Structure 1
Amino acid sequence: MTTAAVTAERYRRFAEVEARGYSPRYEAWCLAISTDGEILEFLGTLPAPRRQPNLFLGAARFLGVQIGDYEGFRSFVLDRSYDVRQVMLQRSTQTNEAGRCAVLLPSLASISAEEGRSLALIEVGASAGACLYPDRYAYVYSPGPALQPPGGSAVPAIECSVSGDVPFPATLPRVLWRAGIDLNPLDAGNDDDARWLEALVWPEHSARVERLRAALDVVRADPPLLVRGDLNEQLLPLLAQAPPDAAVVVFHSAVLAYLDEPGRNRFRATMLDLVRDSGRAVHWLSHEGHGTLAGVSGALVKDPQERDGRFLLQYNGQAIARTGAHGQSIEWL
């Protein structure tokens, strides 16, 4: 297939699988992009990893494109192609969706309860760090409980639809220490970084923007330890800094698709070695798109032909739930 054909299929699939039923505007734009030779030619001038839909759409919105019909989007991109290209080369998709904490929380609470200890959290691909604060947010599960930290939360409650026998906690776990790794950590206190994160939120999702702004306020008030570098190089040194009296959980969400296959294999092998190591128990929560952990037992529970855009939540390499990519739903397996 030609570069244009591969890119066209990528945008068509994004429209039909990721955006359909979740973002009508992005669905319409990406379907149109998939048949627009001039826009596909522009995208073809970028390295393959930089042609992804979320990066392209986010770059245009970061520069001020109006949310309207495709012709307006198209004209903006062609008029400002140099600027769009520079943003796409300089920035990365680093969505920092605090809503994902809703699907991580039951497992985090179970780990803390089983070990009888507070948690030490390490997020690989941490962006600005908003997902490192599951103990600071309020949650509304439907059907299920409403949970909030003592004294409440300044962040709008995270809503999550539920099916299956989710092991809801009675209270939120205590987090003793939080740290993250990212190739380019974002600064919650930097206006451009915050504006970039907002540009990555899909157009119709105003509640997510409100939640992002409030979550970044939480991060600014109590910054985590964020380490710049490759997750395969920085994980073990960072793990050595975790408090010895805490239960360590390494987690990630929508990260491994950005690694090449050798990088994913190396990370998988490291994590499986860590969870088996009797010297210190390390727990592993993976929240990724289907197929990114091929080779891990249970990772391919979902039919490869099923095209619903959901993620798989795995604990220590075993699939435990299917979820909405932004934490909006959880189906316990």
Structure 2
Amino acid sequence: MTERLATTYDDFGRRWAHGTSPLYENWATGIAGDPGILALLAALPPAMQQPNRIFAAARWAGSPLEPFPQWREWLEAHWEQVAEIAASRTTQTNEPARCATLLPQLARIPGPLALLEVGTAAGLCLLPDRYAYEYTAPGGIHRVGDAPVVMPCRVDDDEAVPQHVPEVVWRRGIDLSPIDPRDTAAVDWLATLIWPGPDHDGRVARLRAAAEIAAADPPDIVRGDLLETLPEVAASAPADATLVIFHSAVLLYLDQDGRRRFVELVERVRAARDGRMVWISNESSGTLPEVDARMPKGLDTDRRFVQSVDGVPVALAGQHGATYEVRPFF
């Protein structure tokens, strides 16, 4: 158990936090080599062992943002409090800037659109038509949309920049523990899940601004297991709209059988809608074998999602929406 946890934390630090959150990289790699903390983690249920959940729980409890040796002392002294917080809350990174990496594909789909997000948290990614976007491409800066909240994104090809914000006529989410964007404490927890570091400071402000937009007109979120509720929720989408099922960093929480069942459910929904449906997946490599099999050989995917459309990889999407790369797929 501790060996598996050491691998998980080392991977989180070196593969995901490296170059973007030095403090989290330091904490994660420190834990990976610390038998005492690994033993404490091993005593927790598997869902509570996730690095970001433990780190956010520690920060929620008031931990100092110090290097691992000092932070470790605090963590060990406050372990019961941290574990209690981790038991009562979940990892629900609701990053609205991910809409910047969804828009290039959404803008290509014949509208109007009906959006269905699984693992939606507070539904902030269900609102791509309520934000504006600033894409920095090789040919210059492109502004898309007209809204006070602007999502920045660096794109590696000007042709990938969307030309418009699509019309959305229906939106719904599915989540095991939906978050009400009008709940200030819940939004504070979402903000705590954002990693520390200069690369992430702007994310907190955008999260809170997006939550205010959602609070004014909250999207409908269905509480339930995506493997049980997807067909029923999808069936409620208007027939004259193109249904778009999408998710980001959700399927990694399912085992291989659960992922296979999800793909089967998506295809069942497609058949029920006579093919008028698009499936957009943002997941780390290794999550969907059928997508990995179609990836360019040797492509580095660290700190990025593999974005696929109907099972075909089309781009690398920054995990927090800051980058979008299509050139490896030409």
**Residue in 1 that maps onto 2:19:** 21
The residue type equivalent to 2:151 in the other structure is I
What does the per-residue CA deviation read over 1:275-323, in whole Å, with 9 as the maximum and x for residues that have no partner?
3556251111001110211134x65515578462321000011111012
**Residue in 2 that maps onto 1:83:** 81
Question: How do residues 220-239 of structure 1 correspond to structure 2 at under 5 angstroms?
Answer: 220-239=215-234
* Secondary structure of 1:135's aligned partner: helix
| Mapped pair 1:98 → 2:92 | no
CA contact (8 A) 2:179 2:186 kept: yes
Gaps of 5+ in 2: none
**Residue in 1 that maps onto 2:121:** 127
| Mapped pair 1:172 → 2:165 | yes
Question: How do residues 267-278 of structure 1 correspond to structure 2 at under 5 angstroms?
Answer: 267-275=262-270
**Residue in 1 that maps onto 2:31:** 33
* Secondary structure of 1:173's aligned partner: coil
The residue type equivalent to 1:9 in the other structure is T
Distance verdict in 2 for CA 1:299–1:83, change over 3 Å: farther
Q: TM-score, normalised by structure 1?
A: 0.92
Question: How do residues 55-204 of structure 1 correspond to structure 2 at under 5 angstroms?
Answer: 55-111=53-109, 115=110, 117-143=111-137, 145-149=141-145, 152-155=146-149, 157-164=150-157, 166-204=159-197
The residue type equivalent to 1:147 in the other structure is R
Aligned residue pairs total: 323
Two-structure CA RMSD over aligned residues (Å): 1.8
Higher mean displacement: 232-241 or 126-135:
232-241
**Residue in 2 that maps onto 1:45:** 43
Q: Distance in 1 between matches of 2:63 and 2:294?
A: 39
Higher mean displacement: 269-278 or 299-308:
299-308
CA contact (8 A) 1:62 1:195 kept: no
User: For 1:283, which of 278, 288, 297 is the aligned residue?
Assistant: 278
Distance verdict in 2 for CA 1:320–1:277, change over 3 Å: farther
* Secondary structure of 2:306's aligned partner: strand
**Residue in 1 that maps onto 2:2:** 4
Q: Distance in 2 between matches of 1:228 and 1:134?
A: 22
Q: Distance in 2 between matches of 1:250 and 1:172?
A: 17
| Mapped pair 1:317 → 2:317 | no
**Residue in 2 that maps onto 1:243:** 238
What does the per-residue CA deviation read over 1:159-191, in whole Å, with 9 as the maximum and x for residues that have no partner?
111124643332211111111000111111112
**Residue in 2 that maps onto 1:263:** 258
The residue type equivalent to 1:146 in the other structure is H
Q: Distance in 2 between matches of 1:303 and 1:192?
A: 45
Q: Distance in 2 between matches of 1:192 and 1:304?
A: 43
Q: Distance in 2 between matches of 1:247 and 1:307?
A: 30
Q: Distance in 1 between matches of 2:90 and 2:303?
A: 21
Q: TM-score, normalised by structure 2?
A: 0.92
Q: CA deviation at 1:68?
A: 2.0
Q: CA deviation at 1:35?
A: 1.4
* Secondary structure of 1:110's aligned partner: coil
